[in-house]
Structures are given as C-alpha cells and as structure tokens.
C-alpha cells in the first residue's frame, strides 16, 4: 500500500467528521460541543481535535491486523469519555450533561425509556441513525456499555455455540417492552421505574463480569441486551454484509475462536456467512489465513466495501464521542 493510499481513508474521515460536527456547531442553538459550553468558540477547537482523532483511528484500522486492538481500546476510550462526563454532571457540574431529562446509562433505556416517557431521546435518535448508516456498528464501536463487555470477554473464546441464545434474546426484548408499557399504563412513579431499570442494568453488569469473562465472548451484548437484539433484527435495512468466500475457505475454523459475538460457529462457516449476531467488527478478518472473510456493499469490491464501512463507522464513532452525553 502506497503512502498516498494509506492517507486517503484517514483524510476522508477527518474531513467528514469536521463536516458533521461543524453542522451541529452552526445549526444547534443550545451548544452541543463540550468546549463551547465553557469557552466561546471552543467548539471549533474540539471539532479539530475530534477530527484528528478520527483520522488517527482510521489510519491504523485500515490494516486488518490492527483492527482488534484499535477497536477495543478506542471503544473503551469512548465509554470512559461518556461515563466521565456523566459522573461530573451528577457531581454538580451541569455543563457536562445534555439539556433534557436525565436517564440511566443502560442501553435498555434507549428502548424502554421512550416507551415509558412517550417520546424519544437524543440517544434514541443517535442509535437509529447509526443503524441506518452503518448497520450493526452500534454494537461494536458505539455502545458505551458494550465496551465494558468487550474488555471482560478478552480471554480465550469458547468455540461451542451459546445455548438457547435466541430464546433468551427474545424473552428479554419482550419483557422490556411489556414492562415499559405496563409501567406507563399504571403511571408508576419515575423513581420506581428508574430503580427497576437500574436492577436490569445491575444484572447486565453481573453477566459481563462473571459470564462474559468466563466464556471469553460478549454474552451480555449477544444474548441479554435488547438493543443488541434490535440491531440483529434491523441490520438488513443497511446494505453492508460480511460473507465467507466459498472458493477459498478451507473450513479450518480458526476464525471461530476470534469472534466475540457468537457469530462464527461451525454451522455459520458451513453456510458461508456469519450469524445474525455479527456486528461487522472485523476482528475475524485478520485471523483468516486464506483471506476468505470479506465485506460486501452492493456491487463494490471487498476492499472498497471495507473502506466504506470503516469510513462511516469511524466517522460516527468520533462524532458520537463528541455528542453522546446524558
């Protein structure tokens, strides 16, 4: 890869991130960028910093062998930024909080909160936008909770499929929707509803700390989180896909031990496509010795499809890092 080609993707991510955040800076009346809230014109400085950050991430992630490391740690950095601002806001520094009603930082609230309140939140809009633009990347680059699950699942991955995964996923999804509707219908006080949601989040943390860590895969994100289930079911509204080339795959099954989302089991390899819980994270690409695992997007070449996915996903990651606050 020539030096000029190496710089193409980072430059595009840098420029697109600048464009997105500049639009927010100029069009949104209430300052959305954090530095703008403290210093007049500081938002433009933040835009430049975030743009450079996006370009740096894109430069390294264009190399398949670096994807796992850079995705994991930049995703965790995203989570640290999100929760740090939340804690500072709750400590009395209100400028660190988004204007509007505070809700628990549990992914389930992106679904349950709007049903209970009767109107969407900023996080709901951000979530839906990412699914439309880059498919399931929310679950591998953007979810502030998922980054913790990713770190916990950093050990050796079990090759056996998760048992009763889809039964659990649909049970939790239906339970969350039904509970939110019931709480709204019965006019349950906000404090009580919040405590119930907190209990759901504590169970999720328990799954992350004990089960995901033991399994070496992201059990919370792949089997428990209702937002993850929605992503799995709605991912096909976006044209991005991952497929396994039938002419070159040797059925060695090496990739199965690199997937943290339980999407590359033996049956998936035989069918030549990852399972529905695939988030297109790309961790498996560098593990394939025959280069059989490829991205696709309509009629683009695999390389162009992967670069387009990285362009959109990293730009969204950087932009959301600047905007995602409670």
d(CA 272, CA 274) in angstroms, rounded, equals 7
* Among 277, 274, 279, residue whose Cα is nearest residue 293: 274
Query: What is the distance of C-alpha 208 from the center of its chain?
Result: 16
Report yes or no: 283 and 258 within 8 Å, Cβ to Cβ. Answer: yes
Which residues lie closer than 8 Å to 315 by C-beta, 6 or more apart?
13, 16, 17, 20, 54
In DSSP notation, 140-205 reads: III-TTHHHHHHHT-SPPP-SPPTTHHHHHHHHHHHHHHHHHHHHHTT--HHHHHHHHHHHHHHHH
d(CA 224, CA 141) in angstroms, rounded, equals 18
Q: What is the pLDDT, as a whole number, of residue 144?
A: 86
- Looking at the chain, the whole-number percentage of residues with pLDDT higher than 90 is 62
Q: What is the pLDDT, as a whole number, of residue 37?
A: 85
Tokens representing residue 59 in the block: 């430069």
pLDDT tens per residue across span 234-282: 888 899 999 999 999 999 999 988 899 999 999 999 999 999 999 999 9
Q: What is the pLDDT, as a whole number, of residue 326?
A: 58
Which residues lie closer than 8 Å to 87 by C-beta, 6 or more apart?
none
Q: What is the pLDDT, as a whole number, of residue 96?
A: 74
- Alpha-carbon distance values, 232 to 1, 228, 240, 244 (Å): 34, 6, 13, 19
Q: What is the pLDDT, as a whole number, of residue 109?
A: 86
- Alpha-carbon distance values, 4 to 11, 145, 163 (Å): 10, 36, 47
Q: What is the pLDDT, as a whole number, of residue 53?
A: 97
d(CA 291, CA 245) in angstroms, rounded, equals 8
d(CA 207, CA 145) in angstroms, rounded, equals 12
- Alpha-carbon distance values, 325 to 32, 98, 232, 301, 317 (Å): 9, 6, 25, 37, 14
Helices (H), the chain: 3-27, 34-38, 42-61, 64-90, 108-117, 122-134, 146-152, 165-185, 190-206, 213-215, 219, 226-234, 266-271, 302-323
Tokens representing residue 5 in the block: 């080609």
88 SS3 class = helix
For the chain, list residues with pLDDT below 70: 1, 98-104, 325-326
DSSP 8-state assignment for residue 269: H
Q: Could you give the dihedral angle defined by the CA atoms of residues 210, 213, 214 and 217, in that order, rounded to the nearest 10 degrees?
A: 130
* Among 314, 322, 316, residue whose Cα is nearest residue 81: 322
Q: What is the pLDDT, as a whole number, of residue 182?
A: 96
């Amino acid at each position: 890869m020539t030096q000029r080609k190496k710089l193409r993707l980072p430059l595009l991510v840098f420029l697109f991130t600048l464009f997105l955040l500049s639009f927010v800076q100029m069009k949104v009346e209430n300052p959305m960028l954090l530095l703008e809230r403290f210093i007049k014109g500081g938002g433009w400085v933040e835009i430049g910093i975030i743009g450079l950050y996006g370009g740096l991430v894109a430069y390294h992630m264009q190399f398949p062998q670096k994807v796992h490391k850079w995705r994991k740690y930049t995703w965790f950095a995203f989570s640290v930024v999100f929760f740090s601002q939340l804690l500072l806001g709750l400590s009395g520094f209100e400028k660190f909080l988004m204007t509007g009603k505070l809700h628990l930082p549990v992914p389930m609230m992106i679904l349950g909160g709007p049903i209970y309140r009767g109107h969407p939140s900023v996080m709901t809009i951000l979530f839906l936008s990412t699914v439309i633009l880059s498919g399931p990347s929310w679950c591998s680059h953007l979810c502030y909770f998922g980054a913790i699950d990713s770190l916990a699942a950093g050990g050796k991955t079990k090759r056996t499929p998760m048992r009763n995964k889809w039964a659990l996923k649909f049970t939790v999804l239906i339970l969350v929707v039904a509970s939110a509707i019931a709480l709204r219908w019965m006019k349950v006080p906000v404090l009580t509803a919040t405590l119930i949601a907190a209990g759901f989040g504590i169970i999720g943390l328990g799954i992350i700390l004990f089960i995901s860590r033991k399994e070496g895969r992201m059990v919370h994100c792949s089997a428990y989180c209702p937002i993850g289930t929605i992503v799995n079911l709605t991912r096909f509204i976006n044209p991005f896909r991952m497929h396994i080339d039938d002419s070159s795959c040797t059925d060695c099954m090496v990739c199965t031990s690199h997937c943290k989302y339980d999407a590359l089991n033996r049956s998936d390899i035989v069918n030549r496509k990852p399972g529905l819980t695939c988030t297109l994270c790309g961790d498996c690409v560098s593990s394939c010795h025959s280069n059989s695992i490829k991205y696709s997007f309509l009629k683009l070449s695999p390389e162009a499809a992967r670069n387009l996915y990285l362009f959109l996903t990293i730009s969204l990651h950087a932009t959301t890092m600047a905007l995602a606050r409670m």
